[in-house]
Amino acid sequence: MLRDVKVRYKQTLLGVVWVILQPLTAALIFAVIFGRFADLPSGDTPYMLYVFIAMLPWNIFSGALQRAGTSLISDSRLISKVYFPRIVIPIASSSAVLIDFCVAFIVGLFLMTGYGVYPTWRWLILPLCLILVLILTLGVALFFSALNVYYRDFMYALPFIIQVWMYASPIAYSTEIVPDSVRSFYALNPMAGIIDGFRWSLLGLDKFPTTSVGISVILTFVAFSVGLLVFQRIEDNFADVI
């Protein structure tokens, strides 16, 4: 983890400023395009803040997946020379995003204060939402990192998958605009319930998203179990294949 952090911030001109600029810029673009031009609803919450809060769990997921997805290939020399639990590599690569999250969350606190949103008892639910997104992220990261050893196509497909997944998640829009006829199918995206949970916890939305969060909890543990199973089944051959 420390190595990944050093690689990310060493010899950078702006350093941690990039961690602040990325979610702010993305939230601003979404706010202008979807909030102003498309006039999508965000309830009583300012659209900029509505999107920024959704970016917090999404940046954990996408950032960790990008790093962990190719981590085994990047550390191929280490894998072929020394025996150790291979699962350590994607876990360490994924853990580095927690620093980015902490920085972005501090920025979010300033934004919420500026918009007049203050802490409530619902913030106590936030750690549970954070744990949920970390478990989901780890499960998906284990799956892709393991398969990437055998099929290098995943290295090139992963950015596309992440981009499609982003637009399929309620980041720039609310789950409420999804038609009722397809909402159950839409909820099969575990990030939907996680993002709804973050918004409910931090922004004080009226109704707790019971259905979407419940489905996300189930699918998160399914994804983690599948990812862990796939990783463990094929990790013994990593050194030979890589």
| Mean pLDDT calculated for residue range 54-82 | 80
Q: What is the pLDDT of residue 179?
A: 86
Question: Interhelix angle for 47-69 vs 126-150, to 10°?
Answer: 40
From CA 114, how far away is CA 232, in angstroms rounded?
Answer: 47
* pLDDT tier at 66, thresholds 50, 70, 90: confident
| Mean pLDDT calculated for residue range 25-52 | 82
* pLDDT tier at 20, thresholds 50, 70, 90: confident
Residue-range definition of the domain harbouring residue 80: 2-241
Residues listed for the chain = 242
CB within 8 Å of 69: residues ≥ 6 apart: 141, 144, 145, 148, 154, 155, 158
From CA 200, how far away is CA 193, in angstroms rounded?
Answer: 10
Q: What is the pLDDT of residue 25?
A: 83
Q: What percent of the chain has pLDDT over 70?
A: 85
| Mean pLDDT calculated for residue range 9-24 | 64
Taking the whole predicted model, whether its pTM rises above 0.85 is answered as yes
From CA 143, how far away is CA 157, in angstroms rounded?
Answer: 14
Q: What is the pLDDT of residue 8?
A: 54
| Tally of structural domains, the chain | 1
